[in-house]
Amino acid sequence: MPASQPRSRARDRNNVLNRAEFLSLNQPLKGNQEGRSSGRKQSGQAGASGAQNNNPKERRQSQQLPEEDCMQLNPSFKGIAFNSLLAIDICMSKRLGVCANRASSWGGARSMINLLGITGHGIPWIAGTLICLVKSSTLAGQEVLMNLLLALLLDIMIVAGLQKLAKRKGPYDINPGLLDYLTMDTYAFPAGHASRAAMLSKFFLNHLVLAIPLRILLVLWALCVGLSRVMIGRHHITDVLSGFVFGYLQFRLVELIWMSSNTCQMLISIW
């Protein structure tokens, strides 16, 4: 027995698996297992807490995103139709903007088209109405001119208010002119020149005795003024069409609040 014990000890010593570097193969350390398990638990808890902390931030960011940045997977039919019409309007307006700048296809006619647009500005019409009102000597003429002046002032205020609400820019990046700033016609929707031309043509057709050729020329003038604003790139087609509609509605408003001859005389005497 005493001889067998030293032999077994020698065998254990000579056994390679009993060395310290190979003990983890047969007998894994408990400390390492506990450290690994605790590390996994801590990492899992940290990931869960991080996910919980990130979820409110992501929710806040998603709530703060504007509506235009949110993708609509199922847009409505009205939205598709509106966006399609808007795209067609922009495309057609850019095609008709043949005088938007000097390099355009009709760039040489830009000055003439601008001159046609000046005939629809509010400042020349207001100045001309005031001059005619001063020189007028008949009660009927003064009544018509005073109501015309009222219509022009209402047109400037209504169009300026609608443009401030819509804040739509034209198809081309063109800065407004001095007369545009004076009449507060700085945005595209609705077209102030078109509304003024429609209102004036309807006003003259109703309150002036004109021959048929002159009546046709008056209507053509209003249409050409609206078209000129699209050709120089200041307005879209829908801006001009809406301007015609608003011009007619302004005429109907002036007809409803028409000032009588006595009221006009009282205002003229105060002035």
Catalytic residues: 193, 235
Written as one letter, the residue type at 71 is M
From 185, 206, 199, select the one nearest 244 (Cα to Cα): 199
Number of alpha helices (DSSP H) and beta strands (DSSP E) in the chain = 12, 0
Distance from CA of residue 96 to its chain's centroid? Answer: 20
Distance CA 263, CA 260 (A): 5
The answer to whether the beta carbons of residues 222 and 201 sit under 8 Å apart is: yes
The rounded distance, in Å, linking the Cα atoms of 189 and 174 is 14
Which region holds residue 264: left if phi is over 0, alpha if psi is between -120 and 50, else beta? alpha
Q: CA 43, CA 50: separation in Å to the nearest integer?
A: 10
Grouping H, G, I as helix, E, B as strand and the rest as coil, residue 189 is coil
Nearest residue to 185 via CA among 147, 239, 131, 238: 239
Q: Which CA distances in Å does 216 have to 201, 230, 267? A: 10, 22, 34
Amino acid at 118: I
CB neighbourhood size of 216 (10 A): 11
Q: Which residues contact 174 (CB under 8 A, 6 or more apart)?
A: 100, 232, 233, 234
